[in-house]
Structures are given as structure tokens and as C-alpha cells.
């Protein structure tokens, strides 16, 4: 029996996003009309979001690019220490 005041949230899991060798999830929350996703990079989970699939993809790619750039900066610092 469902309470007429309870709010059910429908979340749909859709295709995955792929970029620079990383794969992220795509989730759509029908009630809030909003997209979210998650990508695992080096054992850490990063989330991204957007009002549209295009915004979601842009946020996903921005996160991946940021992590790659951060890793490259770390590699440059290690080389300078040698």
C-alpha cells in the first residue's frame, strides 16, 4: 500500500559516457529532470551533473581533463626533483 503523499523518484540508468579511456555512468532523475553520473579514476569516484545530456558530457569531460592535467603536473614535478 502506498501513501498518496509519498514521493517516488524514478531514476533511469542510461548509456555510459566514454572519454580518454575512462567510462562514466549516466543517470536521469525523472522527478527533478536532472542528469548525474560517476566515474572512477585511480580508485577514486568523481561525480558530474547537468540539466541536459550535453551538459553532463561536458562536465564529465572537464573532470577527466582536470585529473589528467593534475597527474601530468605531478609527473613534471617529480622530473624536476631528479
Return the pLDDT at 15.
Answer: 82
Return the pLDDT at 3.
Answer: 46
How many H-runs (helices) and E-runs (strands) does the chain carry? 1, 6
- 22-78 pLDDT, tens digit each: 999 999 999 999 999 999 999 999 999 999 999 999 999 999 999 999 988 986 655
Instruction: Show the cell assigned to 61.
Output: 569531460
Threshold 0.85, pTM exceeds: no
Return the pLDDT at 58.
Answer: 98
Domain residue limits, the chain: 11-74
Amino acid at each position: 500500500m502506498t501513501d498518496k503523499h509519498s514521493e517516488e523518484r524514478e531514476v533511469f540508468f542510461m548509456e555510459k559516457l566514454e572519454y580518454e579511456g575512462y567510462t562514466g555512468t549516466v543517470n536521469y532523475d525523472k522527478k527533478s529532470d536532472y542528469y548525474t553520473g560517476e566515474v572512477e579514476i585511480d580508485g577514486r569516484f568523481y561525480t558530474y551533473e547537468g540539466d541536459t545530456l550535453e551538459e553532463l558530457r561536458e562536465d564529465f569531460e572537464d573532470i577527466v581533463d582536470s585529473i589528467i592535467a593534475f597527474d601530468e603536473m605531478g609527473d613534471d614535478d617529480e622530473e624536476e626533483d631528479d
